[in-house]
Structure 1
Amino acid sequence: MSSILDSVNQRTQMVGQNRLELLLFKLRGRQVYGINVFKVREVLQCPELTQLPQRHAVVRGVAHIRGQTISVMDLSLATGGPPLENIHNCFVIIAEYNRAVQGFLVSSVERIVNMNWGDIHPPPKGSGRDHYLTAVTEIDKQLVEIIDVEKILAEITPASDIVSQEVIQKSAGREPQDKIVLIADDSSVARNQIKRTVEQLGMKVVTKKDGREALDFLKDLVDEGKRVNDEILLLISDIEMPEMDGYTLTAEIRGNESLKDLWVLLHTSLSGVFNQAMVQKVGANDFIPKFNPDELASSVQKRLELDQ
């Protein structure tokens, strides 16, 4: 128990400091990719894979690991490249996204690096709309690409963003006409899922690509002489974002006299035992894992009830 508590304490010390740890890996060639360590359960040599009939082309098979049957996805195939070869020499990154456990097949695993989110940047302009990057950074003078796993998962197993009529009816006729819901998320897939969910409740939405953009937007409202709570019903923020993560964004809001009363809902694909401790430390009002449209809609409605 003490070791678990020590681990929690070590992680929570990073909260509000805009830091993360990246696991670096390769697919084909020399290009290096990264994934947030928070999402990783373990890394292992590729086990024996069982083929499934009518499986998605990206899924190379399933493996039985720690009592679970886990789909193993070829990240090279998933991002538009050729399949990885000699998979018995490859590695599988076991990760948890959006309430489910997946295996990602990679050719090699390099190391873990501690970084500042301020050194993680959105993909460069001109990358197009069909790329699979959520961010880029530079380590040892080499470009590191951070893959938009949520986009990959949405293409393999699309999630419904339809809110049930039963949930919609709970707030019908009480939609605020003078307030917006602010969304901050670096994944275009996630932003659109959240946007469509909130709009089904009859509410207006403004979206931003990261915590820095969202904070600048809030500060601009204050500079215009507006009260933030008169303009915004709540902020729905992802946690891992380039430039500024959701924990740091929340801490910045709570430390600003003009913003501190804004309702903040952290909505993230990150899972694990550390999240509740982190959420409490930075002072978020609510926290839910991605992605369940009814649950997200109900969280927005909970804030709406308090506002009326």
Structure 2
Amino acid sequence: MSSILDSVNQRTQMVGQNRLELLLFRLRGKQVYGINVFKVREVLQCPELTELPQRNPVVRGVAHIRGATISVIDLSLAVGGPSLGDVKNCFVVIAEYNRKVQGFLVKSVERIVNMNWSDIHPPPKGAGKTSYLTAVTDIDGEIVEIIDVEKILAEITPNDDVVSQEYVEESIAKAPQDKVVLIADDSSVARGQIKRTIEQLGYKTHLCKDGKEALDYLEGIVNDGRELNDEVLLLISDIEMPEMDGYTLTAEIRNNEKLKHLWVMLHTSLSGVFNEAMVQKVGANDFIPKFNPDELAQSVQKRMDLED
């Protein structure tokens, strides 16, 4: 138990400091990619895979690992490249996204680096909507690409973003038309899912691609002398974002006298034992893992109940 608590303490010390750890890996060629260590359960030599009929072409098969059956996705195929080939010469990164455990087939695993989110940047504007990049960074003079895994998973198994009618009927009657729900998420797929969910409930939305853009938006309102509560109902923020993560964004909001009462919901594909301690430390009002439209609707309703 003490080792678990020590681990929680070590991780929560990073909260509000805008830091993360990246696991670096390669697919084909020299390009280096990264994934947040928080999402990684383990890395292992690829075991024997069982092929399934009528599977998605990017799913190489399933592996039986520690009593669980896990789909293994060829990341090179998933981003539009060639197959990684013989799985015996590859590794599998076991990670948890959106409440599901997935295996990602990679060619090699390099190392773990500790970084500041301010050194992680949105992909170049020329990357286009079809790009699978969610961010880029520079490590020792080498460009590292961070893949939009949520986009890949949505293409393999599309998420249902239809809200149950009972929540829609309850919300539409209460939804204020003079306020927006602010959404901050670096994944274009996730932003779209949240936007469609919230707008079904009758709310207007404003989208930001990272925490810094969201903070600038909020500070712009109060710096102009306008009342925040007259314009923004709540913030729904991802945690992992370039420039500024959701934990740091929340901490900055709580430390600003004019912003500190804003209702903040952290909505993330991250999961695990550390989240509750982290959310409490930065002072978020609510936390829900991605992606369930009814749970998102219920969380918005919590904020609306304060208006009654």
Q: TM-score, normalised by structure 2?
A: 0.99
Counterpart of 2:213 in structure 1 is: 213
Match of 2:33, SS state, is strand
Counterpart of 1:292 in structure 2 is: 292
Structure 1, gaps ≥5 residues long: none
Q: CA contact under 8 A between 2:63 and 2:72: conserved in structure 1?
A: yes
Per-residue deviation, 1:170? 2.1
- What is the correspondence of 1:11-30 to structure 2 with a 5 Å cutoff? 11-30=11-30
Match of 2:225, SS state, is coil
Which 4+ runs in 1 deviate beyond 6 A? none
- What is the correspondence of 1:239-254 to structure 2 with a 5 Å cutoff? 239-254=239-254
Counterpart of 2:62 in structure 1 is: 62
1:63-88: CA deviation from partner (whole Å, max 9, x where unpaired): 00011000000000000000002210
Counterpart of 1:176 in structure 2 is: 176
Matched to 1:6, the amino acid is D
Give the whole-Å Cα distance in 1 for the aligned partners of 2:88 and 2:42.
Answer: 17
Q: TM-score, normalised by structure 1?
A: 0.99
Matched to 1:137, the amino acid is T
Give the whole-Å Cα distance in 2 for the aligned partners of 1:204 and 1:4.
Answer: 42
Identity within the alignment, %: 79
Counterpart of 1:124 in structure 2 is: 124
Counterpart of 2:9 in structure 1 is: 9
Counterpart of 1:228 in structure 2 is: 228
Give the whole-Å Cα distance in 2 for the aligned partners of 1:200 and 1:172.
Answer: 8
Q: CA contact under 8 A between 2:75 and 2:105: conserved in structure 1?
A: yes
1:8-53: CA deviation from partner (whole Å, max 9, x where unpaired): 0000000000000000000000000000000000000000000100
Match of 1:96, SS state, is strand
State how many pairs are aligned: 308
Match of 1:126, SS state, is helix
CA RMSD of aligned residues (A): 0.6
Matched to 1:271, the amino acid is S
Counterpart of 1:137 in structure 2 is: 137
Match of 1:170, SS state, is helix
Counterpart of 1:94 in structure 2 is: 94
Per-residue deviation, 1:172? 3.2
Counterpart of 2:190 in structure 1 is: 190
Counterpart of 1:37 in structure 2 is: 37
1:95-126: CA deviation from partner (whole Å, max 9, x where unpaired): 00000000000000000000000000000111
Counterpart of 1:79 in structure 2 is: 79
Give the whole-Å Cα distance in 2 for the aligned partners of 1:293 and 1:85.
Answer: 37
Give the whole-Å Cα distance in 2 for the aligned partners of 1:302 and 1:16.
Answer: 25
Give the whole-Å Cα distance in 1 for the aligned partners of 2:21 and 2:71.
Answer: 25
Q: CA contact under 8 A between 2:171 and 2:202: conserved in structure 1?
A: no
Give the whole-Å Cα distance in 2 for the aligned partners of 1:244 and 1:172.
Answer: 32
